[in-house]
Amino acid sequence: MTRPAPKENLINFGPLPTHINALLQEGVGCHRSDPARARALFRHAIEIAPGALPAYRCLLKLQNQQREFDDALSVATEGLAEAAHQARVGPDWHTWTAADAGDDKRRSVPQRFLLLFLKAMAFIELRRGNVAASRELVTKLQELDPEDGCGHSVIAAMLDGVDDDAETGSDY
């Protein structure tokens, strides 16, 4: 099946092979009108280029929008593992230090994705009703990214005043 090339890049994903960028752009272009197609495009990008970190982010964002929190958490975890591999850090985020995440102004692409996937996991856990897990992730993000380059303060603000046993508005 031949896919028409997107007329323009909707999102700058950074340096990616042209065919992977095209899959992601097409998925972004149809994610609201045809989420199943977008999901298939993002999954296909991951299958053929498992090192393409933006593909994981696209898929988990779609799954989060569709309230598929378990699937989104799974993809965030997979993306985090790939980012850790590329950043040459251990697979257990609990052991990471600020040096592993790099300096805000000099972070490599994999280091930025380490933080983005941790932030995604914190948000997803909050939406799943796992407030304690979300707090643990935000605490780690505050340690790894004291400048708040990834925007973890947004989730921290959402957690303010939420009891660890309280419902968080998810369907669970």
In a domain, 169, yes or no: no
- Does 25 reside within a domain? yes
Q: Within 13 Å and on the Cβ side, how many CA atoms surround 84?
A: 17
Residue 127 lies in a domain: yes
Assess if residue 2 is contained within a domain.
Answer: no
Q: The domain spanning residue 50 has which CATH number?
A: 1.25.40.10
pTM (predicted TM-score):
0.87
**pLDDT per position as a tens digit, 68-119:** 999 999 999 999 999 999 999 999 999 999 999 998 788 999 999 999 999 9
- 31-82 tens-digit pLDDT: 999 999 999 999 999 999 999 999 999 999 999 999 999 999 999 999 999 9
Please give the residue range of the domain that contains residue 66.
Answer: 18-89+100-159
Q: Is residue 95 part of a domain?
A: no
Counting the structural domains of the chain, the total is: 1
> What contacts 57, CB < 8 A, 6 or more positions away?
79, 113, 116, 117, 120
Residue 125 domain-assigned (yes or no): yes
